[in-house]
Chain A
Amino acid sequence: MSFFGTGARAAPSGQPDQARLAEAAMELEAVSDLFNRIVSSCHAKCISPRYAEPELNKGEGVCVDRCVAKYFAVNEKVQERLQNAQKAGQGMGM
């Protein structure tokens, strides 16, 4: 997970690099894509379409908490595996 600002990267000094800008833009896009996916997925799973009241109730709140936690956990795990597979692939290729 690399939300920009929390990673251990030095702040860009002087004029912004094109490369750095592009990187930041990509990361922003990735993060907002992730956010949208989580919202739509957890909403579909946890919240029944019979909208009896506007506030979330406790059951739905707990469900959404857990949905988001699991989503992130799975995301992390899959990224890890992907990285390992890439490394292995590179090692074998080289």
Chain B
Amino acid sequence: MADTPPTPPQAAPAAPVQPAAPAAAAPKVAPKLPPPPKAQNPFVYLGIPQAVFDYRPKMPGPKMTAFWAVTIGLTGAYIYDRRECERLQKEYIDKVKWMSEAPLDSMEMSRRIKVLGARVPEDGEVDRSSRWFKRYMRPIFVASGTDYILKTGTNPGGIGRTTLAEIRGRRITEASKDPALGVSALNSGSANIASVLTDRDAQDAQRDLDGGVVLLGRAALKEYLWALKKGYGEAIDLKEEARLEGLGLGANERRKDGRWEREEEIMVRELEAEDAKSEHAPFEVPLPAALQGLDGEDDAMTDSAPSGDAPPSNPLAFTPYRSITPASLPTRTPEPVKDDSPPVLLPPPATLPAQPPLLLVPFSHPFGIQKWPSKMVHFFNKRSDVRQGGEYALSILLAHHRAFAPPTIRTPSGSLQGILDDQIVNEVRVGEHKDLALAEGEPTGSPDLDFLSETDENPYHFRRSYRTLPSAHEYSKRTYYKDDLPPKLAVARELASGSRQPTKAEENYPPKMESELRKERLDKELRWRRELEGWAMVRSGSGVAWDEKWGVGEGSETPFRVYTMPTEEQRRELEEKRDAWYEDKKRQAEALEERLRSMPSPPADDE
């Protein structure tokens, strides 16, 4: 005890003494102490340089960090999204693949779905809606063994017009079989074929009913309903149709090429009727007799007796329902304008025939710079499209449908709110209402008729140039008729009548002849009217076509049905069916193997 205290004090004074001496000398010179030995990794002795063990990775600078963060983030999001898309689509396909393995009798036809896509107005791409369908819905249809027809409108209103032509053709074909109407087809080859194909028509109609109609977007719904209302709401003049019969009318589906000429012919007659009424007709002088029929126009231009009328080459009496003469297109016989017999009208049916159920797919393609951020986000989110396409395809495959909800809201004046006015469509088509523009749509009270109205009934959804289309058309029409056409027409007439010789420039580049100018006018008018009609039909604020006969008010019956999204229960049922199918197949395969094994093997000798 006495030893320990003395030692620390001994050490303590000893320690301070030593540093005190060098501390006194510190300001003068620092002692060169050997550097403490660095901790060495024993692996250095294997030959690995120490620098490898001393490496300490640094955090990159802020700019580099930002660069890597953005690049890796975007690439990761893209890769994740596309892989999810694949996985999701494969999942939907696996859900329905078993359906395609069901046997199909050789006389049976598989279910066929009709897909209608409207043209997105003012879009450079004509088939945006059909591309969406092909990418996101078609794989599931193909996997399940379901057939589909895809129709896209090439211009606004195109699907509507196609459907209208189909409906009219169907009505006329049915009328021709109905003896009560007193319309009898001549006993010609085409009539006999038509009677043989009646069975096929009935089969086709049933197949259409089972198949269902897929409408891609609100524009398709509008055009479809417009076509139904016009097709089944208007009376058809059978005599007029018979006059156009040679152009491929009654069998619209079977002779697709005939429809264009029919449309042109109708337009020609319409234009002539209008020219007769207006004083500013561009081509006042009727064609001389020799030139008539060259460009396929009717020569009955004005109400006054046409002197240059070629006598009808067909000496037979006029029949209301002529047979189809396939190769007679260039030799169109001009019919006399005044037809005294009363027109044979096909009245509209009292009720709409059975309609296939509809599937309303929320497809839309908005324009506008304000949409760009959401479009950029959507680029990394394509899996939502896959999911939507898969869900809607599944809903039409499971085929559970509910009644279509009729419109309920009425305006104070008593008419239904938000319903398309056909009169306005016809007027806009001809060129009136040039100040009409897109407007906000009004709700009709039916969730089905108001389908996708939150986006598509807003004028800013469409391109700016589309919002005031009639005024743009009016301008181009005016300039064409005032500035473009008359000088060209004058030149053509001068050269044709020989009142002056062509100049050097005209010899090198011969100007258009009068018949070509008429054709050009016809084409232009066709195009303008088509676009205006489509605009009037599809624009926001136009309303949806709806016939009051189809049902109005809460709870009333409508002739339409809508496919519903599959519920949890239905999905489970589908899975059970699928499992049962695969179980069945496995059991069959095993049974077959058993049978083969138990059979006595054939003798191995060969003779």
Stretch in contact with the other chain, from A16-24, A32-40, A55-63 = A55-63
**Chain B: how many interface residues by the 8 Å CB criterion?**
21
Are A56 and B326 in touch, CB under 8 angstroms?
no
Chain A 7-46: CB-based contact to B (< 8 A → 1; otherwise 0): 0100000000000000000000000000000000000000
Are B103 and A56 in touch, CB under 8 angstroms?
yes
Closest-by-CB residue of B relative to A53 is: B103
Give the residues in chain A near B101, CB-CB below 8 Å: 57-59
Closest-by-CB residue of B relative to A65 is: B147
Separation in Å of the A72 CB from the closest CB of chain B? Answer: 13
Closest-by-CB residue of A relative to B588 is: A53
Are A55 and B147 in touch, CB under 8 angstroms?
no
Separation in Å of the B109 CB from the closest CB of chain A? Answer: 8
Q: In the complex, A71 Cα to B33 Cα: how many Å?
A: 96
Give the residues in chain A near B145, CB-CB below 8 Å: 57-59, 61-62
Give the residues in chain A near B147, CB-CB below 8 Å: 62, 65-66
Closest-by-CB residue of A relative to B141 is: A62
Separation in Å of the B217 CB from the closest CB of chain A? Answer: 26
Are B103 and A62 in touch, CB under 8 angstroms?
no
- Select the residue from B99, B147, B193 with max chain A CB neighbours within 10 A: B147
Are B105 and A55 in touch, CB under 8 angstroms?
yes
Are B106 and A58 in touch, CB under 8 angstroms?
no
Q: In the complex, A61 Cα to B109 Cα: how many Å?
A: 8
Known A-B contacts A8-B189, A61-B110, A62-B110; the reply to A55 vs B326 at CB < 8 A is no
Closest-by-CB residue of B relative to A55 is: B103
B102 in contact (CB, < 8 A)? yes
Are A61 and B189 in touch, CB under 8 angstroms?
no
Separation in Å of the B329 CB from the closest CB of chain A? Answer: 14
Give the residues in chain A near B143, CB-CB below 8 Å: 59
Q: Which residues 40-94 in A have Cβ within 8 Å of B in the complex?
A: 53, 55-62, 65-66
One of B99, B104, B142, B144 near A61 (C-beta < 8 A): B104
Separation in Å of the A90 CB from the closest CB of chain B? Answer: 19
Are A58 and B104 in touch, CB under 8 angstroms?
yes
Are B189 and A56 in touch, CB under 8 angstroms?
no
Separation in Å of the A1 CB from the closest CB of chain B? Answer: 12
B100 in contact (CB, < 8 A)? yes
Separation in Å of the A47 CB from the closest CB of chain B? Answer: 12
B146 in contact (CB, < 8 A)? yes
Q: In the complex, A62 Cα to B143 Cα: how many Å?
A: 11
Closest-by-CB residue of B relative to A8 is: B326
Are A57 and B100 in touch, CB under 8 angstroms?
yes
One of B102, B189, B327 near A58 (C-beta < 8 A): B102
Are A57 and B326 in touch, CB under 8 angstroms?
no
Closest-by-CB residue of A relative to B111 is: A58
Q: Which residues 497-549 in B have Cβ within 8 Å of A in the complex?
A: none
Q: In the complex, A13 Cα to B105 Cα: how many Å?
A: 42
Closest-by-CB residue of A relative to B189 is: A8
Q: In the complex, A56 Cα to B107 Cα: how many Å?
A: 11
Q: Which residues 120-155 in B have Cβ within 8 Å of A in the complex?
A: 142-147
Are A57 and B146 in touch, CB under 8 angstroms?
no
Closest-by-CB residue of B relative to A61 is: B104
Known A-B contacts A8-B326, A57-B101; the reply to A62 vs B146 at CB < 8 A is yes
Are B189 and A55 in touch, CB under 8 angstroms?
no
Separation in Å of the A69 CB from the closest CB of chain B? Answer: 10
Are B326 and A58 in touch, CB under 8 angstroms?
no
Q: Which residues 151-190 in B have Cβ within 8 Å of A in the complex?
A: 189
Are B104 and A60 in touch, CB under 8 angstroms?
yes
Separation in Å of the A21 CB from the closest CB of chain B? Answer: 22
Q: Which residues 320-340 in B have Cβ within 8 Å of A in the complex?
A: 326-327
5 more CB-based (< 8 A) A-B contacts, given A58-B103, A59-B100: A58-B104, A58-B144, A62-B110, A62-B142, A65-B109
User: What are 11 A-to-B residue pairs whose CB atoms are below 8 Å?
Assistant: A8-B189, A8-B327, A53-B103, A57-B100, A57-B103, A57-B145, A58-B99, A58-B145, A60-B104, A62-B100, A66-B147
